[in-house]
């Protein structure tokens, strides 16, 4: 995992745990609260992680007040 920053590693660990059952629907604010970053920090990194990681699929799923991300294993 040397290609990921410390923040990216924390985000990936969080989303992997939440998607352990197969899939999870998450918002940046929810992830941020779980790992101690700001929602903006998470929101900026999620699209990049979606392209960089093969461990989980991260897909922009919906947008109401904020973007929902679908994470699958």
> Chain centroid to CA 71: how far?
7
pTM: 0.88
Divide the 73 residues of the chain into consecutive groups of 10 and give the mean pLDDT of each group: 85 95 94 95 94 92 82 93
Sequence-ordered list of residues with C-beta below 8 angstroms from that of 6, at least 6 positions apart, any chain: none
Tell me, what's the pLDDT at 1? 47
Structure tokens at 4: 């990921």
What distances in angstroms separate CA 22 from CA 31, 50, 57, 64, one per listed residue? 17, 17, 11, 24
**Please, are residues 31 and 15 in contact by the beta-carbon 8 Å criterion?**
yes
The domains of the chain are located at 6-72
Q: What is the CA radius of gyration of the chain?
A: 11
What's the fold here for domain 6-72?
Answer: Arc Repressor Mutant, subunit A (1.10.10)
């Amino acid at each position: 995992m040397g290609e990921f920053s410390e923040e990216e590693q924390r985000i990936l660990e969080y989303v992997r745990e939440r998607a352990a059952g197969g899939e999870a629907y998450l918002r940046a604010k929810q992830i941020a609260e779980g790992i101690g970053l700001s929602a903006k920090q998470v929101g900026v990194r999620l699209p990049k992680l979606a392209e960089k990681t093969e461990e989980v699929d991260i897909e922009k799923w919906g947008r109401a007040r904020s973007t929902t991300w679908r994470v699958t294993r």
